[in-house]
Structure 1
């Protein structure tokens, strides 16, 4: 059964419209998938079957994402994330404040903190720096967002897990694949954020934010993520593969012990589970969309357009990631839909699975900050940035996402 490209696009357009109008994104995506199937020529039973099949396909990744909540919950609720951010900013000093904010957010995201939570975690410190050095809200916010985007493509977060799952590649290999693009992403972030230092609203209040006083040591804060990354890296290095389903929660548990906070472990994992449950439900709804797109002619039309334009077929990877990020305004949702839909076609075009996954994953960051997604509003509220200035940041954020995608594509599409 094939669904027409036109019907699929109608369904996607409906989902986007409903999300932009602030309807629940989960139900908006499910409804869009249903309408896409029906208007694309599938019968009601066939449409439901394709939606269910798509949701089933994402279940293994969801299971791994749920267990990743252990590490994320420990990092966030124990104060470890704040300690990591504080230490980086303190070591680099106020003269390198923009770089410090970008690196702090990058590292937090890279070790398993959700990008929006990483920005929220660093924002009180950023506001303190902005007050002292008279740096604009736009500048500090862009520094944190760009750092988070760069860290997100080398993290054990949900977007990376689902991309590795759908391409059938090792998670740690995919995390390592985009390290160089991430470095360039931070460089471009710092350059762009520097140009905004005196532009827009300044934070003029006196005094500093009252940050949490009793925090774990930097060494104990890093223990959990380091253990998790070592376990994930065993596969490519030694051939002993430890699944993220084991490595991530084990890292969280060991990290909790290292910080001496084992009595709070239940609270930490409950918090992590609550955050991951939100992502899991969203992924199920994106799975229904992926089920429709996967059985539609949309990918064939896209490949045909690439052929006619003279562009090489490996560009399907970054382009599909970018298009889905524009449709969903979410890195995770974009990586889910794009990898579930286009991974087979990308590999069939002669692109190695790891290379295709890396390029697609980077592409999913190009438009993940658009206003019909939660990230746009969450990042505005944590720094009290008005919507007019938040909108002005969109081209800068897109430039950072494009940088990540460009260097990933240069490496894995042209050089290797």
Structure 2
């Protein structure tokens, strides 16, 4: 084997399977990925030196994304701890009214996620408001959780969140261009969420009780204008590049948005505490990305991408299909939008561009594809979202097919846009 393919496809796949099994067995995800990468490289025919070298090189490619994700923690921490995120959710739900409770909940979560709050935190933040509305409107936990997850998925593909940052890095794109290209798929997914939740709202009977309500009455929320200024500043700073060719990196724009949020809410004295909170929420993602880099290093130096391209050729499928399919499969393997889109991007970006698929379109399809099967039980998102509404694992499992449909809608729309 030459240096471009040091490992066999079988080794890479076995390594990924080992990592998945360890994650399912509740071993730490980062260590599971590192062990899987080591096993995959050795079984795939590489020496110990080659395997470790590929793992280290794979992790090294993640560092720019890790730095930007660490910076995004400041914005997320400020939005959550000042109450800005909760105020945004509360305002939208109140303005749309209880008759439109499910679409309102979905829109709230979408906006909170789109402005830079991680999807699991966006759901957890919206959950108290959603539970209170559900109690009044006699809606089930399943219906409101699906609305929150669906809205979060729609917002996640147009946000400066870890998955978007990692995907833009893999395809060497500006963050704002990738955020912008998936606006239409996100809107289509949101519309589908509204239709889907309305259609199934009477299917489940896990209704909200008084014990489920945990609204924090002691926290005085800022005004809606104060709450939205920080995210608007981030959007404006990122928009300077396409509008005026003034480059403000997300590494700068995201913390600045957080600091502005603190200034307008008059809570700058808490900058250290809120930044620490935000860091505590992203450190796990950063560690996961480092582990993801090790397995991505093995996969990118294996025959897997060539074999997948050959398989697509044998099935007479067009080359661009590799983008959404790789996103779907890798996100399912890792139960993570970020890890899935990162591995798929790092592994197949070069092959996709070599097949004359434009990097922006390839990234959009891959990124949307990573939201289809990203909430499987061997990932933390599954458990964090279920816990936000005090739902049992059995109840939570029932929502996975519906979540997959929502991700599939945005993926299909992203693919149609590419074809058009």
Tell me whether the two structures share a fold, i.e. TM-score over 0.5: yes
Match status 1:378 vs 2:384? yes
2:131–2:208 CA contact under 8 A, matched in 1: no
Q: Could you tell me how far 1:211 is from its partner in structure 2?
A: 3.4
Q: In the alignment, which residue of structure 2 is the partner of 1:193?
A: 197
1:138–1:200 CA contact under 8 A, matched in 2: yes
Q: In the alignment, which residue of structure 2 is the partner of 1:124?
A: 128
1:146-225 matches, within 5 Å, as: 146-206=150-210, 209-212=214-217, 213-225=219-231
RMSD: 1.1
Change (3 A) 1:315 1:393: same
Q: Deviations over 1:178-237 (max 9, x none)?
A: 000001111111122112212223325359643344011111111111001110011111
Between the aligned partners of 1:206 and 1:274, the Cα distance in structure 2 is 31
Runs of 4 or more consecutive aligned structure 1 residues displaced over 4 Å after TM superposition: 206-209
Match status 1:33 vs 2:1? no
Segments of 5+ residues of structure 2 without an aligned counterpart are none
Q: In the alignment, which residue of structure 1 is the partner of 2:287?
A: 281
1:138–1:196 CA contact under 8 A, matched in 2: no
Count of equivalent residues: 414
1:246-257 matches, within 5 Å, as: 246-257=252-263
Q: In the alignment, which residue of structure 2 is the partner of 1:24?
A: 28
Q: Deviations over 1:150-171 (max 9, x none)?
A: 0000000011011111111110
SS at match of 1:306: helix
Between the aligned partners of 1:273 and 1:169, the Cα distance in structure 2 is 25
Between the aligned partners of 2:409 and 2:216, the Cα distance in structure 1 is 33
1:7–1:41 CA contact under 8 A, matched in 2: yes
2:237–2:253 CA contact under 8 A, matched in 1: yes
Match status 1:308 vs 2:314? yes
2:140–2:208 CA contact under 8 A, matched in 1: no
Greater Cα shift, 194-203 or 139-148: 194-203
SS at match of 1:388: helix
Q: In the alignment, which residue of structure 2 is the partner of 1:267?
A: 273
SS at match of 1:18: helix
Between the aligned partners of 2:220 and 2:329, the Cα distance in structure 1 is 44
Q: Deviations over 1:245-267 (max 9, x none)?
A: 11111111112101111111111
Q: In the alignment, which residue of structure 1 is the partner of 2:66?
A: 62
SS at match of 1:210: coil
Q: In the alignment, which residue of structure 1 is the partner of 2:251?
A: 245
2:139–2:208 CA contact under 8 A, matched in 1: no
Change (3 A) 1:278 1:206: closer
TM-score normalized by the length of structure 1: 0.98
Change (3 A) 1:227 1:204: closer
Q: 1:295 aligns with which of 289, 296, 301?
A: 301
SS at match of 2:302: coil
Segments of 5+ residues of structure 1 without an aligned counterpart are none
Between the aligned partners of 1:321 and 1:49, the Cα distance in structure 2 is 25
Q: Deviations over 1:76-117 (max 9, x none)?
A: 111110001001111111000000000000000000001001
Between the aligned partners of 2:390 and 2:276, the Cα distance in structure 1 is 28
SS at match of 1:283: helix
